[in-house]
Structures are given as C-alpha cells and as structure tokens.
Chains A and B, each alone.
Chain A
Amino acid sequence: MNPPPKIPKKILVAVDESNSSKRALVYVAEMIGGRKDINVLVLHIINEPEEDFFPKAGEREKWLSAEKEKTDSMLSGYRALLIENGVDPECIAVLSKVRSCPSIGDCILNEMESSASRTVVVGRKGVSKKEELLFGSVSNRIIHHAKDCTIWVVA
C-alpha cells in the first residue's frame, strides 16, 4: 500500500509595513531555504475602521481601495523578498484580508485556523511598555492567546 501523500506544511507570516516584518520574512526564508514541502503564506490584515470613521457615503470605498492598492504593492515586494532569499516561488502565497478587528492579534490567529497553518511568524516591533499599555502589542497578544500552534517572534 502506498503511503498517504505528504501534505505540505504551511507557515503563516503576518506582516505590515514595518522593518520587523521584513526581518521575519528573511528569517523564514533562511530557515526553510529551497524546501518544497513547506508553503509560506504572507498575510496582511487591513484593519477596517468603524463605520463612524467615514462621514460620507463613498469615503469607505475610497479608503479601502487606497489601502488595498498599498497592500498589494507591499505584498508583491515581500514575495520578491522571499524569492530573493531562496524560497521557491511556487511555495509562496500572499493574502490580504479586510477585517474589523477589536484585536489584530486575534484576527491573525483566526486566519491561522482558517488557512490550516500550524506556525505563525510575526516580527516584534519593540514597542515601548508605554505604547503597549496604550495601544496593545500584536506579538504579545498572539503569544498569550495562541493555541495548538507554534509561534515564532522575530525581534
């Protein structure tokens, strides 16, 4: 009897425009090298402001379209960065999701589940304690709330 086909492992790298995201991507590329049995999913969450943020009809669509354009360009840059650092282009997928997130960390963990990834990688921006108190920290949130998965935090 033939062994069951191997399902490629999937690593989700949650990114934004920060340098720490670039460091996380380069780290992942170095770790997996040219292996074809590991897929990399590069995810960016577009955190949609509450409806109140857009006083007039049409402004939300305008805002979203500008954000999507910015995100597409960022993600294609990140794709190139992974290839440049040795990741097989066929193993890379990029994804942007528009979400209303009370917590961005929680949204990333939800995406982890729905994409069946078992490893989440995030960059650590090194926010100060003060900043963390006022605004929260994505990497800390993920560390504290993740279940049944592995988290890599690249500082």
Chain B
Amino acid sequence: MEERFSLNSIKDLAARWFPRLPPIGTIHYDTTDFFRIGYGDALVLGKKAYYVRHNAKEGRFGLDDEEKFWVKRSIDLDDGSLKIVKLEFREKFQAHIGDFSFDCFRSPKKEARLLNLVSGHANFMHGYSVKDPAGNTVRVIDYIYGKTLHSHILSLQVGHEDFYHTLFPDIFKNFLECVEAVAFLHEHHEKHGDIRRDHIIIDRESGRYRWIDFDFNYLHRENIYSYDLFGLGNIFMYIVGMGDVLLNDLRKKNPSALDSLREDDLNIVFNNRVANLEKIFPYVSPSINRILMHFSKGAEVFYDNTSQMVNDLNEAYHGL
C-alpha cells in the first residue's frame, strides 16, 4: 500500500537534499500517464517519495539522444540519491539485425524479475520494482556513475599495439566477468535481451563493469540464448579491435591489410566489420582470435551456450 504524502511533507523531505527548495508540482501515485509526469513533480511509490528531475535520454553510437518519456531521473527523498525510475511502457516492434527481423517487446515484468534475480550481483545494475495503485510495474534503479564501455574504448588515446599490451588485459578481465554474469542469467533461464556495448557501464566507484537495461524481450526461435551470445561476440570484437575495425577505414588508413582479407574474415552479420583481427593486428593471440572467428562468416560451429564462450575466454585470458 502506498503512503499518502501532503505537499508540505514532500517539501520537508526535499529540503533536506536541495540547498534551495525547488518548486514542487503534482504528486503522482498512478503513473499510467507518464507524459504528464515532469520536472518538479513528486512520485510516490510504495512507502517512498521521489522528486522528478527530467526524462532520461539515450543516445546510441553517435546518434542523437532520444528522450525516453517513461524513464524519469529522480531523487530519492529518503536519502537524496539519484535513481532512474522506469515507468510501465509497453511496445511491440520488429527489430532488424542485418537482413533479419524478429518480434520484440518491452517488458517491465521481465526487468522486475531480473532485478530480483541479480540483486547483490556486482556485474548488474541494482534496484527494486513496485506496483503503483493502477497495477503498473515501476522499477526504481540505483544510478550508476561512470562511462559506458562503448565511450571508454572510444576515448582511448593510444595506438592499438600499446592498447593490446597494456590496457586490454584489464578490460578483458572485466568483460569476462560480464560474460559470466550473462551465463548466470542463462543458468536461471533468463536472457539479458539487449546486449550492447553501451549497455555496460564502468562503475566509477567500484571499477566493475555492470550490465544495464533488461526490459527488452523477444520471441525466440530455436535457442533463447543465441541472440545474447551474438551480442557478446560483437562486444568482444569491439574490445579486441579497440573499436570496430571497418573495411572503409582500412581502405583509407591501411589499404595493404585489405589484401589479406577474405570474405570468411568478416563479421557474419555486419559484413563491413573485420572479425579476423589477427590479420590486422598480428600480435592478437590465436586463442583470442579463435573466439572471434566463431562470429565470422567463415565460422562452421557456433557457441551453443554461454558457458562454452566463458571457457574459451578464460583460457584465452590466462594465456595472455
């Protein structure tokens, strides 16, 4: 049952966390119409109140940020901490990967379930879910301060060989933990559903890599976990290459490298990316390259489950 708060009680709570008391708008209990919930409003979820700052935005790989009206950056009025409050928003859509499309849907229930499952796990975002009076599943998530893995790699200012010998081992170790974390989900018959390099945040405080955003779901065909595995392969390729190694870039910067490349050396889905990175960076270890080749056009065998990939990654990491 949700607590009832008066405007004055919200003001009193807010006064503890803001040097100058901001204006307090409407107090919302029912979150169904999330477009009406905006800056300065208060959200009451269960026994707690939150002060809404603004809608979250999500940019992807250099594209303009998209405003997510159902995701509110808010202040927990109990302790002043920043939270991401995700209100219930359902949508079904077709996702496209290369030439393929498949049915996807956004699932607050799945995210709520996973938040429970990964509670206390260092490689995931943390939070809890609560039902509002209208039955909407709202998720209150602890804000993680830090860069995404995508931005971190992009920001590196070293040559590839330096990167590989100095920075890469630590990134590899952290990524390995992330893959083990996904294996943990799979062992519990759950999938992450939206594995992308900008869905890993490097926690500034703990240094750990942490998965975010689990509300994406899809109708799987044969194997519920294949799509997650595909995502992991792409991220690993991105890490080893210190970014995507694109044919277009090679044409401009390293045209001689193109001579040695065959069709089989390219990423199986994104055919403009090189998977066989040993051909571009000869010091990449064969055991790392073998993992990458599972995601190449030349692959004859794919990983069947995440544990197989974890085993190979472990072996490659310890062989560095």
Question: Which A residues are within 8 Å of any B CB, using their own CB?
Answer: 47, 49-53, 55, 101-105, 129-138, 141, 144
Contact = CB atoms under 8 A, between A and B. Distances in A.
B107 A52 contact: yes
Contacts of A131: 100
Contacts of B7: none
Interface residues on B, range: 20 to 34
Contacts of A129: 268, 297, 299
Interface in B207-227: 217, 219-227
A51 B109 contact: yes
Given A130-B269, A135-B226, 13 more contacts: A50-B217, A52-B109, A53-B105, A53-B217, A101-B224, A102-B224, A105-B222, A129-B297, A133-B302, A134-B226, A135-B100, A136-B221, A141-B304
B1 interface: no
B226 A102 contact: no
Interface in B286-301: 295, 297, 299
A103 B223 contact: yes
A20 to B, nearest CB: 14
Interface of B: 90, 97-100, 102, 105, 107-110, 189, 217, 219-227, 229-230, 268-269, 295, 297, 299, 302, 304
B221 A133 contact: no
Contacts of A49: 219
Contacts of A137: 222
Given A53-B217, A130-B100, A133-B268, A138 B222 contact: yes
Nearest to A103: B223
A143 B221 CA distance: 17
Given A52-B109, A105-B222, A133 B97 contact: no
Interface of B: prevailing SS? loop
A62 to B, nearest CB: 15
Contacts of B219: 49, 53
Contacts of A104: 221-222
Nearest to B106: A52
A52 B110 contact: yes
Contacts of A141: 222-223, 304
Contacts of A47: 220
Given A102-B189, A129-B299, A52 B217 contact: yes
Contact of A103 (B105, B224, B268): B224
Nearest to A55: B90
Nearest to A142: B222
A135 B110 contact: no
A10 B312 CA distance: 40
5 contacts: A47-B220, A52-B110, A103-B223, A105-B222, A133-B299
Contact of A130 (B98, B105, B222): B98
Given A130-B100, A133-B268, A134-B97, A52 B223 contact: no
Nearest to B227: A134
